Chain A
Amino acid sequence: MTVTFGHAEGDGRAPFIPSEEWIEAFEAQATEDLYLRIKRYARARARLVAHAGRPIDEQYTNDLVQDAIGDTFDGVLAWDPERVTLERHLQCAIHSRTRHDYVHAIRFRQERIDLGTKKTLAEVETTLARARGEPEDASARVLAALHQLAARDPDVIEMLRLFGEQVIKKEDIVRETGWNTKRYQATRKRMLRLVQQLPNDVREAAMARA
């Protein structure tokens, strides 16, 4: 097993020299348990990228964590120990990277050409999905299946709708819906359970690659 952290050498930037307090804060929070938690977080986030059709393996998950740590050491990602924990900082870095990779993979997929038909793969998939009477976009297929599962759960449907409106934080959802914390947490739990219950052909198409 090779674990490396990227070194931003020769990129013209001034070398990052953190304070002794910064180093101490990093050392105090960087435990083996933290790495395990971050790895679990990264593995779940990697599944999002798999939805866009990008092949995802264990190395991709490892890279997510190692790059986040390496970029922090190099000062590419600024971490202020007084404002946020190291765990939250690394989660934000991985969130940002996976979201970028997801959007990039969707765009790339639109542009890949199937040499046999001279059509883009997206066009081929759209044609096949249309023939099957399914939503044409891979993400839409996942969400359609999720909505179907949640048909008798109006709170989960409402949560998904709010996500689509970029109302994502707990406090914003609670304010929009008037739910109390208990109802929010119960809805969140049911939603996550439904993700696990997605039909195999929908879920595994994305997650098996993760």
Chain B
Amino acid sequence: MSVRIDMTDKDKNVEILDAIYQEAALEAAEHGKSAPEDRPWAREVGKRVQARLAELRRNLVPAATPVAQAQPIRPSLLALGRDALLAKLDELIARLGTSVQYAHRNLEGLSDDDLRRLIDTLDPDLEP
């Protein structure tokens, strides 16, 4: 429903001219001809729009997860030497079977503390 308000002649003139130029603008958009200089301008606008869209997309990528600080190694593992750690790892693998997966094929490259952390990850129910 449109509500009509009493207007002065000047207000009416504004309304009429605004409406005329709205119609003229819609007609120009639909059927008008562009000036020769409009095409390079449009290409430039296209480039800028693409850059802004890329920027908006980058803003959508979640920020990197903060690096979690390593938990202290449990005293029960700290008490074990390298041979005992390797034996514990074998025992864990035997117990948990094929559900155990870890990336290290050559355990010689791992330090004692690396082994302790690996055991800790594989068996969180380990005694403290």
Residues of A within 8 A of B (CB): 1, 3-5, 15, 17-20, 23, 26-27, 30-32, 35-45, 47-48, 51, 58, 62, 65-66, 69, 73, 87, 91, 95, 98-99, 102-103, 106, 137, 139-140, 142-143, 146, 160, 163-168, 172, 188, 191-192, 195
Residues of A within 8 A of B26 (CB): 41, 91
Q: Are A163 and B16 in contact (CB under 8 A)?
A: yes
From the candidates B2, B15, B32, name the one contacting A163 in the complex (CB within 8 A): B15
SS of A interface (majority) = helix
Per the 8 Å Cβ criterion, residues 20-74 of B in contact with A are 20-30, 32-34, 37-49, 52-53, 56-57, 59-60
Residues of B within 8 A of A (CB): 2, 4, 7, 9-10, 12-30, 32-34, 37-49, 52-53, 56-57, 59-60
Q: Given A5-B52, A30-B49, A192-B27: A99 and B41 within 8 A (CB)?
A: no
Q: Are A137 and B52 in contact (CB under 8 A)?
A: no
B125 to chain A, nearest CB (A): 41
CA A138 to CA B10, docked complex, whole Å: 10
Chain A's closest residue to B22 (CB) is A95
From the candidates A3, A23, A163, A166, name the one contacting B20 in the complex (CB within 8 A): A163
Q: Are B28 and A41 in contact (CB under 8 A)?
A: yes
Q: Are B41 and A62 in contact (CB under 8 A)?
A: yes
CA A80 to CA B4, docked complex, whole Å: 29
A85 to chain B, nearest CB (A): 12
Q: Are B38 and A36 in contact (CB under 8 A)?
A: yes
Q: Are A164 and B12 in contact (CB under 8 A)?
A: yes
Residues of A within 8 A of B14 (CB): 102-103, 106, 139
Chain A's closest residue to B57 (CB) is A23
Further pairs besides A5-B48, A38-B29: 9, Cβ < 8 Å: A1-B41, A4-B48, A32-B39, A39-B34, A42-B25, A45-B22, A87-B29, A140-B9, A192-B24
